[in-house]
Amino acid sequence: MAVQEKNPIATTGRTATVERKTKETQIKVSVDLDGTGAYNVSTGIGFLDHMLEQLSRHSLIDLEVEATGDLHIDFHHTTEDTGYAIGEAIDKALGDRRGIRRYGEATIPMDETCTQVALDASKRPYLVWQVDFTKPKLGEMDTELFKEWFQALAQTAGLTLHVHNLYGDNNHHIVESAFKGLARALRDACTIDPRQAGAIPSTKGMLGQ
């Protein structure tokens, strides 16, 4: 478990806490969209912890995750359910999404790897995942689980989310650049635009339809 101290800066109150309990996992997540990138993450999966720390640090979303799950079976349920819980917390913290910029995009280089992430916080969940791995596992973690995590997050956070690894050889770099790209895209999309702080960012007057 890694902990980064929180910088005591006032926020605008876009916070949420979610608890998800099933026969397979027990998860508690708290987010502050107007944070400083402080995190306290413990899932029992070291590499997933590392990725969630990157998500928090580069999005400036304060993130607390405490998860236990049936890791004696495999990492699938804990990975997927963590995505669901974080997405649900982000959705609750966004509220009616009034005033947000809505769209975000980032292209992240990491050594030989480059990954592009684009998203629309539209409340219409959809994932396009154009990411290939050269190995079935990254340490003890199945690489196919990263798509499951991104799918779960998009579903409950209400994101249209496109992840495209443009090129790269190192699987660690491919995954990390995807999480960092998501972080920076979320940071832009969730930011309040002072020119439309009271408006729903849609000509329909509502999101999700």
Pick the closest to residue 173 from 46, 43, 51 (CA basis).
51
Query: To which H or E segment does residue 42 belong?
Result: strand 39-42
Structural domain spans, the chain:
2-196
Query: To which H or E segment does residue 103 belong?
Result: strand 103-110
The model's pTM: 0.92
| CATH T-level topology, domain 2-196 | Ribosomal Protein S5; domain 2 (3.30.230)
pLDDT tens readout for residues 58-87: 999 999 999 999 999 999 999 999 999 999
Across the range 153-158, mean pLDDT stands at 98
Q: Are 65 and 82 in contact (CB under 8 A)?
A: yes
Q: Band of the pLDDT at 12, cuts 50, 70, 90?
A: low
Task: Measure the CA–CA gap between 14 and 122, rounded to whole angstroms.
Answer: 17
Task: Measure the CA–CA gap between 57 and 79, rounded to whole angstroms.
Answer: 19
